[in-house]
Chains A and B, each alone.
Chain A
Amino acid sequence: MMINIPPASILILGALIIPFLKGKVRSFYMVILPLLTLFYLFSLSEGTYWTVKILNYELIFGRIDKLSLAFGYIFAIVTFIGVIYSLHVKDTLHLMSAFIYAGAALGAVFAGDFITLFIFWEIMAFAAAYIIWSAKTKKAISAGMRYLMVHIFGGLLLISGIIIHYYETGSLHFNYIGLNGLSTWLIFLGFGINAAFPVLHAWLPDAYPESTETGTVFLSAFTTKTAVYVLARGFPGTELLIYIGALMTAFPIFYAVIENNLRRVLSYSLINQVGFMVTGIGIGTQLSLNGTVAHAFCHILYKALLFMSMGAVLYRTGKINATDLGGLYKSMPLTTVFCIVGAASISGVPLTSGFVSKSLIVSAAGEGGMLLIWIALLFASAGVFHHSGIKIPFFAFFSHDSGIRTQEAPKHMLIAMGLAAFLCIGIGIMPGPLYSILPYPVDYEPYTSAHVIDQTQLLAFSALAFTLLMLSGIYPPEIRSVNLDADWFYRKGAKAFMWLLNNPGAKLMAKINNFIFEKVISFLVWFTKNPVFAIKIAKDTLLLAFSIPEKRDEIKKRLKDEKESYPGDHSMPTPIGTVVLWATIFLTICLIIFYFAL
């Protein structure tokens, strides 16, 4: 079977038919689309396909190689899982935006040139904003708006970088870029906003927890991982990325410890996990780049699984804050088990997917002799277990009994979570198939006795720390609160800016208006009544200022008479003379302007 279309089009064009279908047909159709995409990707061989020539530009819709295929596979798989999870959703536009979003992510990953990449990049931003808005709450609407503004800003950085890059190199092909000069920095920052670089990250924990229970599952998979892909394509081995990545692994976990909204905790840990991938790109060895791709693959699955389990809790109870939850293992036992599988995978417990992917990156840092980076990654590994591995399942399903009695998640949600959990454990037990789709040959054995015992110790004693702090009452209690993050600068900054515009700004504008439209105009009216006489008054005023004291009284008197008698007799002998005078002045000005302008 060879259907000759770009892979992205199955989901994007397929989405357009969703509104015309109903009930079981629609469910069947939606589940088939991502499966079709996945099998289509399996059938593709490496190479460059679907190039379209527009004017002098060549758009490349299909650059198929191992790097893009690995991301393509996992995007199709998570779309399949996410769609099953969303089968209860009635909102057609919500479903369409999810399909278009996933399709655009595939388009971006297979794009071989900057223009194609940019187009899909922007489609993703708008589709994601719509997914956030689908929650239809006031908070979601404003968070979606902020999301869109941040990503449009990122898109502007990207397109400016692309345009300058084109003029510098004459090429729009998207290959290795590397950091040198303005254009590459602009592209780097454009990518960096989507990858949630520190300080540029605040859109993520701001917006993701506000979407619907299904929307966040899609959101968690595509935007940051597409950014990881383009960074791996354009900036492998860029040293700066090592430090950015290490910082990303470390700082969000402090926020995750004190955050009350459990989906926001997961959003912070998402940044932490992307930090590992970014570090891997920065190290730039075959081992670390393999690690980045493997970790992106596994991360998408267990992060989706965690967001699905929290989504099921939100769907059934309407609550997501740790302060409101607890004891749900009694009514949602299967969801509890799936959540624990996701939590174990993100923590890198042996026999789960995180164990076989994260260790590639940590080993690459260790083998490169990067002591501080290695310690930061180890700290982040312990920390992620602490907040995602323990905190999420503990506060939602155990902890004190909140008294909430509800039902198990709906069947389709359980199937979706079960699939993701199966893959998390499957990859952990049998990493071979995952390793075989990585961009470089893998010569790495995760299951050595030393690695297993080291990782188990790291996790078990982190759990001991949690247990001791909990039992002694030192562990910070969950508090309903807002924790300030970098978005403070634009959320409060925008308010301060509006205040400045409305208060001092408005007063200043009123003064400027008054000056230009009243004072200047009335002076001109006064002046043109009798210019010659007016100039005479001006001359006498000047004279008064510089004259000797004896003459001053005389001039004062004369000035007073002149002002009283103004405009006096029109001393212009002929009006034609005035017109000629003004015309001459006007033409002179034109002459001067054109002389300098041309």
Chain B
Amino acid sequence: MKKEKVHFFDRPGSLKKVLRVFFIFLVILFIVDPFIHKHPFFNFDGYPSFYGSFGLVACVFLVLAAKYILRPIVMRREDYYDD
């Protein structure tokens, strides 16, 4: 049998490399942000990294609410509607 090629994420350390690039990207975004001239609609959305903080908080809230509030209410067995 032909041996399968070792794919990117199967190589040890690949995930770490990707994460490192991602974190560096985040830091750059964070540093650059205050130097960009913003046109806020309200006033708070002009603060440095408002969008980043909002995204982070919103997604954590989204996942926690879905997991701890919505799922216990609506989740049923897979054959719930079957006769």
Contacts and interface: CB of A to CB of B under 8 A. Distances in A.
Interface of A: 253-255, 257-258, 329-330, 363, 366-367, 369, 371, 374, 378-379, 382-383, 386, 398, 401, 405, 448-450, 453-469, 474-476, 479-485, 491
A254 B62 contact: yes
A461 B75 contact: no
B39 A448 contact: yes
B59 A460 contact: no
A422 to B, nearest CB: 25
A232 to B, nearest CB: 24
11 contacts: A254-B62, A366-B42, A366-B45, A367-B41, A379-B62, A454-B50, A457-B51, A461-B55, A465-B56, A465-B59, A468-B60
B63 A458 contact: no
A383 B59 contact: yes
A461 B56 contact: yes
A464 B81 CA distance: 37
Interface of B: 4, 7, 9-10, 19, 22, 25-26, 29-30, 32-33, 36-39, 41-42, 45, 49-56, 58-60, 62-67, 70-71, 73-81
B25 to A, nearest CB: 7
A252 to B, nearest CB: 11
Contacts of B55: 382, 457-462, 464-465
Contact of B26 (A464, A485, A491): A464
A483 B74 contact: yes
Given A258-B66, A367-B41, A382 B29 contact: no
A465 B60 contact: yes
Contacts, number: 150
B41 to A, nearest CB: 3
Nearest to A471: B19
A330 B71 contact: no
A139 B34 CA distance: 54
A531 B81 CA distance: 60
Given A258-B67, A457-B55, A485 B42 contact: no
A450 B51 CA distance: 11
B56 A464 contact: yes
B26 A369 contact: no
Contact residues of B: prevailing secondary structure: helix
B59 A386 contact: yes
B56 A254 contact: no
A396 B39 CA distance: 39
A257 B25 contact: no
Contact of A479 (B10, B63, B75): B75
Chain B CB within 10 Å — which of A374, A464, A467 has the most? A464
A257 B66 contact: yes
Given A369-B41, A450-B37, A453-B29, A254 B77 contact: no
A491 B82 CA distance: 11
B62 A461 contact: no
Nearest to A138: B82
B42 A383 contact: no
Query: 10 closest pairs, A vs B, by CB?
Result: A366-B41, A465-B59, A457-B52, A257-B66, A461-B55, A476-B67, A461-B52, A462-B55, A484-B74, A458-B55
Contacts of B74: 255, 258, 483-485
A215 B32 CA distance: 46
Contacts of A482: 75-81
A371 B43 CA distance: 11
A467 B38 contact: no
Contacts of B54: 378-379, 382, 458, 461
A449 B19 CA distance: 26
A461 B26 CA distance: 7
Contacts of B67: 257-258, 474-476
Nearest to A379: B58
Contacts of A454: 38, 50-51
Q: Determine which residue in B37, B52, B58, B73 has the highest number of CB atoms from chain A within 10 A of its CB, and name it.
A: B58
Contact of B70 (A254, A366, A371): A254
Interface-central residue, B50, B62, B78, B81, by most chain A CB under 10 Å? B62
